[in-house]
Structure 1
Amino acid sequence: MVRVLFVCLGNICRSPMAEGIMRHLVEQRKLSHVIEVDSAGTSHYHIGEEPHHGTMRILRHNGISLSHRGRQFGKIDQQNFDYLIAMDRQNRRDMQAVLGANGAEVRLILDYIPNGVKGRDVPDPWYTGNFEEVYAMLHTACNALLDEIVATKR
Protein backbone atom coordinates (compact mmCIF):
# COMPACT_ATOMS: atom_id res chain seq x y z
CA MET A 1 0.00 0.00 0.00
CA VAL A 2 1.29 3.46 -0.96
CA ARG A 3 0.13 6.25 1.35
CA VAL A 4 0.13 9.94 0.38
CA LEU A 5 -0.34 12.88 2.77
CA PHE A 6 -1.03 16.42 1.55
CA VAL A 7 -0.32 19.24 4.01
CA CYS A 8 -1.21 22.93 4.12
CA LEU A 9 -1.60 25.42 6.97
CA GLY A 10 -5.12 24.84 8.27
CA ASN A 11 -6.21 21.67 6.45
CA ILE A 12 -9.45 23.22 5.21
CA CYS A 13 -8.56 24.59 1.74
CA ARG A 14 -5.60 23.34 -0.29
CA SER A 15 -4.68 20.02 1.30
CA PRO A 16 -8.23 18.63 1.48
CA MET A 17 -8.74 19.81 -2.10
CA ALA A 18 -5.62 17.85 -3.12
CA GLU A 19 -6.87 14.88 -1.09
CA GLY A 20 -10.22 14.92 -2.88
CA ILE A 21 -8.66 15.30 -6.32
CA MET A 22 -6.11 12.54 -5.72
CA ARG A 23 -8.70 10.12 -4.34
CA HIS A 24 -10.87 10.78 -7.37
CA LEU A 25 -7.96 10.15 -9.75
CA VAL A 26 -6.98 6.99 -7.84
CA GLU A 27 -10.57 5.72 -8.09
CA GLN A 28 -10.75 6.55 -11.81
CA ARG A 29 -7.60 4.50 -12.41
CA LYS A 30 -8.93 1.69 -10.20
CA LEU A 31 -6.00 1.93 -7.80
CA SER A 32 -7.89 2.38 -4.51
CA HIS A 33 -6.68 -1.03 -3.36
CA VAL A 34 -3.02 0.09 -3.52
CA ILE A 35 -3.05 3.87 -2.85
CA GLU A 36 -4.44 5.68 0.20
CA VAL A 37 -4.71 9.47 0.49
CA ASP A 38 -5.14 11.82 3.47
CA SER A 39 -4.45 15.44 4.38
CA ALA A 40 -3.41 17.46 7.42
CA GLY A 41 -2.46 20.97 8.49
CA THR A 42 0.66 22.32 10.15
CA SER A 43 -1.47 24.43 12.52
CA HIS A 44 -4.09 23.51 15.06
CA TYR A 45 -6.49 26.25 13.88
CA HIS A 46 -9.12 24.05 12.24
CA ILE A 47 -8.85 20.65 13.92
CA GLY A 48 -12.16 18.82 13.53
CA GLU A 49 -13.60 21.31 11.03
CA GLU A 50 -14.98 20.46 7.60
CA PRO A 51 -13.22 21.83 4.51
CA HIS A 52 -13.83 25.44 3.49
CA HIS A 53 -17.06 25.96 1.53
CA GLY A 54 -15.00 27.20 -1.45
CA THR A 55 -13.06 23.93 -1.51
CA MET A 56 -16.24 21.89 -1.29
CA ARG A 57 -17.92 23.97 -4.00
CA ILE A 58 -15.11 23.52 -6.54
CA LEU A 59 -14.82 19.80 -5.76
CA ARG A 60 -18.59 19.26 -6.20
CA HIS A 61 -18.49 21.31 -9.42
CA ASN A 62 -15.92 18.83 -10.73
CA GLY A 63 -17.83 15.74 -9.62
CA ILE A 64 -15.67 15.01 -6.58
CA SER A 65 -17.08 14.16 -3.16
CA LEU A 66 -15.06 14.50 0.02
CA SER A 67 -15.68 13.65 3.64
CA HIS A 68 -12.91 15.12 5.78
CA ARG A 69 -12.27 16.73 9.16
CA GLY A 70 -9.22 18.91 9.74
CA ARG A 71 -6.32 17.41 11.65
CA GLN A 72 -2.81 18.49 12.56
CA PHE A 73 0.37 17.09 11.03
CA GLY A 74 2.58 15.24 13.49
CA LYS A 75 5.89 13.41 13.66
CA ILE A 76 4.08 10.05 13.50
CA ASP A 77 2.95 10.89 9.96
CA GLN A 78 6.41 10.14 8.59
CA GLN A 79 5.95 6.54 9.73
CA ASN A 80 2.45 6.26 8.28
CA PHE A 81 2.97 7.86 4.85
CA ASP A 82 5.28 7.22 1.92
CA TYR A 83 4.77 10.66 0.37
CA LEU A 84 4.69 13.84 2.47
CA ILE A 85 3.56 16.64 0.19
CA ALA A 86 3.47 20.32 1.20
CA MET A 87 1.42 22.99 -0.54
CA ASP A 88 4.04 25.70 -0.06
CA ARG A 89 7.56 26.36 1.18
CA GLN A 90 6.46 27.62 4.60
CA ASN A 91 4.43 24.46 5.22
CA ARG A 92 7.43 22.39 4.12
CA ARG A 93 9.66 24.24 6.62
CA ASP A 94 7.05 23.74 9.36
CA MET A 95 6.78 20.03 8.54
CA GLN A 96 10.57 19.63 8.54
CA ALA A 97 10.74 21.35 11.94
CA VAL A 98 8.30 18.78 13.33
CA LEU A 99 10.16 15.88 11.72
CA GLY A 100 13.63 16.99 12.82
CA ALA A 101 16.97 16.86 11.05
CA ASN A 102 16.73 13.16 10.20
CA GLY A 103 13.06 13.27 9.21
CA ALA A 104 11.45 12.02 6.04
CA GLU A 105 11.68 13.98 2.79
CA VAL A 106 8.96 16.58 2.25
CA ARG A 107 8.28 17.67 -1.33
CA LEU A 108 6.26 20.51 -2.77
CA ILE A 109 3.18 19.48 -4.74
CA LEU A 110 3.95 21.72 -7.72
CA ASP A 111 7.41 20.13 -8.06
CA TYR A 112 5.62 17.12 -9.56
CA ILE A 113 4.43 19.10 -12.58
CA PRO A 114 6.63 18.17 -15.54
CA ASN A 115 8.59 21.19 -16.80
CA GLY A 116 7.14 23.22 -13.93
CA VAL A 117 9.00 25.79 -11.92
CA LYS A 118 10.56 24.00 -8.94
CA GLY A 119 9.95 25.53 -5.54
CA ARG A 120 6.68 27.19 -6.53
CA ASP A 121 3.92 27.60 -3.94
CA VAL A 122 0.21 26.87 -4.32
CA PRO A 123 -1.48 30.16 -3.41
CA ASP A 124 -3.80 29.93 -0.41
CA PRO A 125 -7.40 30.50 -1.57
CA TRP A 126 -8.33 31.39 2.02
CA TYR A 127 -6.65 34.72 1.20
CA THR A 128 -6.98 34.93 -2.60
CA GLY A 129 -10.49 33.51 -2.98
CA ASN A 130 -9.35 31.87 -6.23
CA PHE A 131 -10.35 28.26 -5.65
CA GLU A 132 -10.57 27.61 -9.42
CA GLU A 133 -6.90 28.48 -9.97
CA VAL A 134 -5.85 26.27 -7.06
CA TYR A 135 -8.02 23.41 -8.32
CA ALA A 136 -6.38 23.58 -11.77
CA MET A 137 -2.88 23.57 -10.27
CA LEU A 138 -3.63 20.71 -7.92
CA HIS A 139 -5.37 18.62 -10.57
CA THR A 140 -2.34 18.85 -12.85
CA ALA A 141 0.10 18.14 -10.01
CA CYS A 142 -1.93 15.22 -8.60
CA ASN A 143 -2.08 13.59 -12.04
CA ALA A 144 1.70 13.90 -12.36
CA LEU A 145 2.25 12.57 -8.82
CA LEU A 146 -0.01 9.62 -9.51
CA ASP A 147 1.90 8.91 -12.75
CA GLU A 148 5.13 8.90 -10.74
CA ILE A 149 3.73 6.58 -8.09
CA VAL A 150 2.48 4.14 -10.72
CA ALA A 151 5.78 4.24 -12.61
CA THR A 152 7.92 3.64 -9.52
CA LYS A 153 5.73 0.88 -8.07
CA ARG A 154 5.75 -1.35 -11.15
Structure 2
Amino acid sequence: MAERVAQGRAAEEGLTGVTFSSSGVSDEEHGGPIDARAQRVLARAGYSTGGHRAHKITAAELREADLVIAMEELHRSRLRRLAPEVEVALLTDFDPEAVPGSEVPDPWYGSASGFDGTLAAVEAAMPGVLRRVRELQGDAPV
Protein backbone atom coordinates (compact mmCIF):
# COMPACT_ATOMS: atom_id res chain seq x y z
CA MET A 1 0.00 0.00 0.00
CA ALA A 2 2.80 2.42 0.86
CA GLU A 3 4.46 1.90 -2.51
CA ARG A 4 1.27 2.79 -4.36
CA VAL A 5 0.53 5.82 -2.19
CA ALA A 6 4.11 7.05 -2.65
CA GLN A 7 3.89 6.62 -6.42
CA GLY A 8 0.56 8.40 -6.59
CA ARG A 9 1.53 11.30 -4.35
CA ALA A 10 4.90 11.75 -6.07
CA ALA A 11 3.15 11.94 -9.45
CA GLU A 12 0.64 14.47 -8.10
CA GLU A 13 3.49 16.64 -6.82
CA GLY A 14 5.58 16.34 -9.99
CA LEU A 15 8.37 14.50 -8.18
CA THR A 16 10.35 12.71 -10.88
CA GLY A 17 13.40 10.48 -11.08
CA VAL A 18 12.27 8.34 -8.16
CA THR A 19 11.43 4.66 -8.01
CA PHE A 20 9.38 3.31 -5.13
CA SER A 21 9.31 -0.41 -4.51
CA SER A 22 7.86 -2.76 -1.95
CA SER A 23 9.33 -6.01 -0.70
CA GLY A 24 8.61 -8.49 2.04
CA VAL A 25 10.88 -9.83 4.74
CA SER A 26 9.59 -13.34 4.05
CA ASP A 27 8.88 -15.24 0.87
CA GLU A 28 5.37 -16.42 1.80
CA GLU A 29 3.56 -14.35 -0.82
CA HIS A 30 6.23 -14.66 -3.55
CA GLY A 31 4.79 -13.78 -6.94
CA GLY A 32 1.39 -12.81 -5.56
CA PRO A 33 -0.45 -9.59 -6.35
CA ILE A 34 -1.48 -6.94 -3.85
CA ASP A 35 -3.92 -8.40 -1.30
CA ALA A 36 -7.47 -8.10 -2.67
CA ARG A 37 -8.60 -6.18 0.41
CA ALA A 38 -5.75 -3.70 -0.01
CA GLN A 39 -6.58 -3.41 -3.71
CA ARG A 40 -10.15 -2.39 -2.91
CA VAL A 41 -9.07 0.26 -0.40
CA LEU A 42 -6.38 1.63 -2.71
CA ALA A 43 -8.67 1.74 -5.73
CA ARG A 44 -11.42 3.44 -3.74
CA ALA A 45 -8.87 6.11 -2.74
CA GLY A 46 -7.72 6.57 -6.35
CA TYR A 47 -4.40 4.72 -6.28
CA SER A 48 -3.07 2.25 -8.84
CA THR A 49 -3.27 -1.44 -7.91
CA GLY A 50 -2.03 -3.39 -10.92
CA GLY A 51 1.29 -4.92 -11.81
CA HIS A 52 2.68 -5.67 -8.36
CA ARG A 53 4.24 -9.05 -7.60
CA ALA A 54 5.45 -9.83 -4.09
CA HIS A 55 9.06 -10.76 -3.51
CA LYS A 56 11.44 -11.11 -0.60
CA ILE A 57 13.93 -8.28 -0.20
CA THR A 58 17.63 -9.00 -0.64
CA ALA A 59 20.68 -7.45 0.99
CA ALA A 60 21.68 -6.08 -2.41
CA GLU A 61 18.34 -4.26 -2.78
CA LEU A 62 18.78 -2.73 0.66
CA ARG A 63 22.30 -1.54 -0.15
CA GLU A 64 21.17 0.00 -3.46
CA ALA A 65 18.27 1.94 -1.95
CA ASP A 66 18.60 5.59 -1.00
CA LEU A 67 15.84 5.29 1.60
CA VAL A 68 14.60 2.15 3.35
CA ILE A 69 11.38 2.27 5.33
CA ALA A 70 9.79 -0.50 7.40
CA MET A 71 6.22 -0.67 8.62
CA GLU A 72 6.95 -2.30 11.97
CA GLU A 73 9.85 -2.95 14.30
CA LEU A 74 10.00 -6.70 13.55
CA HIS A 75 10.52 -5.92 9.88
CA ARG A 76 13.10 -3.25 10.65
CA SER A 77 15.12 -5.69 12.77
CA ARG A 78 15.05 -8.29 9.99
CA LEU A 79 16.17 -5.71 7.44
CA ARG A 80 19.01 -4.62 9.71
CA ARG A 81 20.16 -8.23 10.01
CA LEU A 82 20.29 -8.52 6.21
CA ALA A 83 22.31 -5.33 5.77
CA PRO A 84 23.50 -3.92 9.11
CA GLU A 85 25.13 -0.92 7.47
CA VAL A 86 21.84 0.33 5.99
CA GLU A 87 19.74 2.82 7.93
CA VAL A 88 16.13 1.69 8.21
CA ALA A 89 13.39 4.09 9.31
CA LEU A 90 9.88 3.32 10.44
CA LEU A 91 7.16 4.83 8.28
CA THR A 92 5.68 6.50 11.33
CA ASP A 93 8.97 8.43 11.78
CA PHE A 94 7.71 10.60 8.91
CA ASP A 95 4.34 11.37 10.52
CA PRO A 96 4.64 14.31 12.94
CA GLU A 97 1.40 13.23 14.66
CA ALA A 98 2.52 9.62 15.28
CA VAL A 99 3.76 8.44 18.64
CA PRO A 100 7.54 7.95 18.38
CA GLY A 101 8.37 4.31 17.70
CA SER A 102 4.80 3.42 16.77
CA GLU A 103 4.10 1.02 13.94
CA VAL A 104 1.76 0.99 10.96
CA PRO A 105 -1.13 -1.33 11.79
CA ASP A 106 -0.88 -4.67 9.99
CA PRO A 107 -4.38 -5.54 8.78
CA TRP A 108 -3.47 -8.94 7.34
CA TYR A 109 -5.13 -11.09 10.00
CA GLY A 110 -8.01 -8.76 10.78
CA SER A 111 -11.10 -7.63 8.94
CA ALA A 112 -11.12 -5.79 5.63
CA SER A 113 -11.78 -2.52 7.47
CA GLY A 114 -8.27 -2.72 8.94
CA PHE A 115 -6.89 -1.79 5.55
CA ASP A 116 -8.57 1.61 5.85
CA GLY A 117 -6.57 2.28 9.01
CA THR A 118 -3.38 1.20 7.31
CA LEU A 119 -4.07 3.50 4.38
CA ALA A 120 -4.69 6.40 6.78
CA ALA A 121 -1.36 5.77 8.53
CA VAL A 122 0.49 5.56 5.21
CA GLU A 123 -1.12 8.75 3.89
CA ALA A 124 -0.31 10.62 7.12
CA ALA A 125 3.39 9.80 6.75
CA MET A 126 3.65 10.45 3.01
CA PRO A 127 4.33 14.23 3.09
CA GLY A 128 7.33 13.56 5.33
CA VAL A 129 8.53 10.70 3.13
CA LEU A 130 8.36 12.83 -0.01
CA ARG A 131 10.10 15.71 1.76
CA ARG A 132 12.95 13.31 2.63
CA VAL A 133 13.08 12.04 -0.96
CA ARG A 134 13.45 15.62 -2.18
CA GLU A 135 16.27 16.18 0.31
CA LEU A 136 18.03 13.07 -0.97
CA GLN A 137 17.66 14.38 -4.51
CA GLY A 138 19.27 17.64 -3.42
CA ASP A 139 16.06 19.64 -3.70
CA ALA A 140 15.09 22.13 -1.05
CA PRO A 141 12.40 20.82 1.32
CA VAL A 142 8.90 21.93 0.46
Same fold (TM over 0.5): yes
Q: State the match for 2:63 in structure 1.
A: 79
1:94 to 78, 87, 90: 78
Q: Give the Å deviation of 1:78.
A: 2.3
2:89 to 85, 92, 107: 107
- Mapped to 2, the partners of 1:73 and 1:151 lie a distance apart of 25
Q: State the match for 2:8 in structure 1.
A: 24
- Identical columns (%): 27
* Matching of residue 127 in structure 1 with residue 106 in structure 2: no
Letter in 1 for 2:9: L
- Mapped to 2, the partners of 1:132 and 1:85 lie a distance apart of 20
Q: 1:60-79 to 2 correspondence within 5 Å? A: 60-66=43-49, 67-79=51-63
Q: Deviations over 1:61-118 (max 9, x none)?
A: 0111132000101100123210110000000011111113xx2100100011114211
Q: 1:18-57 to 2 correspondence within 5 Å? A: 18-31=2-15, 33-57=16-40
Total equivalences in the alignment: 135
- Mapped to 2, the partners of 1:151 and 1:99 lie a distance apart of 23
- TM-score scaled by structure 1? 0.83
- Mapped to 1, the partners of 2:135 and 2:86 lie a distance apart of 21
Q: State the match for 1:59 in structure 2.
A: 42
Q: Could you say what secondary structure the match of 1:127 adopts? A: coil
Residues 22 and 143, structure 1, Cα contact 8 Å, conserved in 2 = no
Letter in 2 for 1:118: P
Unaligned runs of 5+ in 1: 1-16
* Matching of residue 148 in structure 1 with residue 128 in structure 2: no
- Which protein is richer in strand relative to its size? 1
Q: Deviations over 1:18-61 (max 9, x none)?
A: 00000000110111x32110000000100100010111001100
Q: State the match for 2:98 in structure 1.
A: 116
Q: CA RMSD in A?
A: 1.3
